[in-house]
Copies of this chain bind each other. A is one copy, B any other.
Amino acid sequence: MKNSLKVWRAKKDITQEQLAMEMEVTRQTINAIERGKYDPSIKLAFKMARFFECSIEDIFFYE
């Protein structure tokens, strides 16, 4: 599973830490997901999509 989190974050010009606060997770979680270390939970994915005003499929790519 890949993602374009870094791009969406760049669009809003916010840091990993700022996004982490908005999502109510830690900076390490954002960093790990962004670097593909593991996938987000569906709840976090929904939260991100809502924050970036897009769909989950716009951020995360399955296969």
Residues of A within 8 A of B (CB): 1, 39-43, 45-47, 50, 55-57, 60, 62
Contact = CB atoms under 8 A, between A and B. Distances in A.
A28 to B, nearest CB: 18
- Can you tell how many copies of this chain the complex includes? 2
Contact of A50 (B46, B55, B60, B62): B62
Nearest to A62: B46
12 contacts: A1-B42, A1-B46, A39-B41, A39-B42, A40-B42, A42-B42, A46-B60, A46-B62, A47-B62, A50-B62, A55-B57, A56-B56
A56 B49 CA distance: 12
A25 to B, nearest CB: 14
